[in-house]
Amino acid sequence: MEKGASEPSPLDCARCGKPASLQCPKCAQLKLPREAAAFCSQDCFKAAWASHKSVHTKLDALTSQLSLEGWKYCLKKGRTRTLELPRFDWTGPLRPFPISKMRLVPDEIEKPDWALDGIPKIEPDSDLQKRVEIKTPEQIERMRETCRIAREVLDAGARIIKPGITTDEIDRVIHEETIARGGYPSPLNYHFFPKSCCTSVNEVICHGIPDARKLEDGDIVNVDVTVYYKGVHGDLNDTYFVGNVDEASKQLVRVTYECLEKAIAIVKPGVRFREVGEIISRHASMSGLSVVKSYCGHGIGELFHCAPNIPHYSRNKAVGIMKAGQTFTIEPMINTGIWRDRLWPDEWTAVTADGKRSAQFEHTLLVTETGVEVLTARLPSSPDVYPWLKPSSATSK
């Protein structure tokens, strides 16, 4: 990517490769990728028309249907919507698609304080941002229950994943399964986030917004679920395969899974939080992969995000030592290419700076007197989707 405010590289004719000065008007109207729409002359354009025009029908049908139903692109963290695909120097093949209207949550469900206006009030000013809470047995019991519900909800979403399904449909399942159990989907309206879970496809690192895009054979997709139930949050995510994926993607997902597994293995009282990053970073680099540095694990409980901050990279200055009764997440994001990330115009979706794929796994953990309890652990009923896991093992992570 070119540096700074300079223009993107000049476009070449999609048919012959010479420098282009014209574009297909239909593509311009539909905001389709410019690379396929640029032409050097009317003649080239005419000659290419027969095969080129199919690009329009695909998106034309989709967008007209969607905009009729009120689906639009997300901007400004969810505070606004737009009918047109935003302008951006996309780092990979993926593009945002319009999103559906915000889903509703029944009145009787207990909601966190951002549900109404999108702004958390208690969380930012809480003392729990500065010190790590030791949960009471009562709080721990609630967290066990909520985390188990979150696992059931994620599993339900995972079961519908296949080519042709949109991430919006996954979101709908997550949303409905959550409220059916009496919970609130924590991401919904958290700092205006427009959906009930995050769906991160391919080069998206995290915080992808469920939209109208259909999953394609060969994709990888992470689904990140947090449920708020009985006053506490439970947070987890898994990366899934869509249809048949290539070896590199399988490797990426497996190594990421192992990074989390190895990190969890060291959790016990007396271990420094900063050690987590060392473990993850070591395993990732041994496999030739990189670690995302902009996002970290976090404390969780009655607040969605609180102390401690747990970076996943090595040589960090994280403060604190694990103690029994603490609950927090570890959620490594591992990239095929470089570690750097960029933010999409929606101001949520984080993508790899080089457009290569990224995977993630997450658990909510409880430090016990002797070690760790994985509150969001896989259940015997969890879908058996990872070749490296023995099926129906209750203690498997």
Partner 1 sequence: MADDDDCPPLAVELPPQANFPPAPASSSNSISAPVGVTVITGYLGAGKSTLVNYILSAQHGKRIAVILNEFGEEIGVERAMINEGQGGALVEEWVELANGCVCCTVKHSLVQALEQLVQSKERMDHILLETTGLADPAPLVSILWLDDQLESSIRLDSIITVIDAKNFRQQIDEHTNSSSFPEAFHQIAFADVVILNKIDLVKDDLEDLERKIHDVNALVTVVRSVRCQVDLNTIFDRQAYGVKNSSQLQELLEYSKSVPPNSRHDSSISTLCISEQDSVDLAKVESWLEDLLWEKKSNMDIYRCKGVLHIHNSNQLHTLQAVREVYEVVPAREWSDKQSRMNKIVFIGRDLDISILQDSFSRCKH
164 Rama class: left (phi>0) / alpha (psi -120 to 50) / beta: left
Residue 328 found at the interface with partner 1 (CB under 8 A)? no
Q: Is 56 among the annotated ligand-binding positions?
A: no
Site for partner 1 in 16-45 (CB under 8 A): 20-26, 28, 34, 38-39, 41-42, 45
Q: Which of 127, 72, 91, 44 is nearest to 299 (CA)?
A: 127
Residue 298 found at the interface with partner 1 (CB under 8 A)? yes
Residue 386 found at the interface with partner 1 (CB under 8 A)? no
What tokens does 307 get? 């102390």
211 Rama class: left (phi>0) / alpha (psi -120 to 50) / beta: beta
CA distance 240 to 98: 23
Residue 60 found at the interface with partner 1 (CB under 8 A)? yes
Q: Which of 367, 359, 365, 358 is nearest to 397 (CA)?
A: 365
Q: Is 298 among the annotated ligand-binding positions?
A: yes
Interface residue with partner 1, options 17, 49, 83, 217 (CB under 8 A) = 49
Strand ranges, E, within 63-161: 73-75, 80-82
Interface residue with partner 1, options 103, 111, 144, 293 (CB under 8 A) = 293
CB of 6 to partner 1, least distance (A): 8
Residue 392 found at the interface with partner 1 (CB under 8 A)? no
CA distance 104 to 96: 23
CB of 177 to partner 1, least distance (A): 23
Cβ count within 10 A of residue 121: 11
- Crossing angle of helices 274-286/247-265, nearest 10°? 150
The residues of the shown chain that bind partner 1, judged by CB under 8 A, are 1-8, 10-11, 20-26, 28, 34, 38-39, 41-42, 45-46, 49-50, 53, 57, 60-61, 64, 77, 87-89, 119-120, 124-125, 129, 190-191, 272, 293-298, 304-305, 309, 311, 313-317, 319-321, 329, 331, 340, 342, 345, 347, 353
- Tell me the binding residues: 207, 224, 235, 298, 305, 331, 362
Annotated binding site for a protein: 207, 305
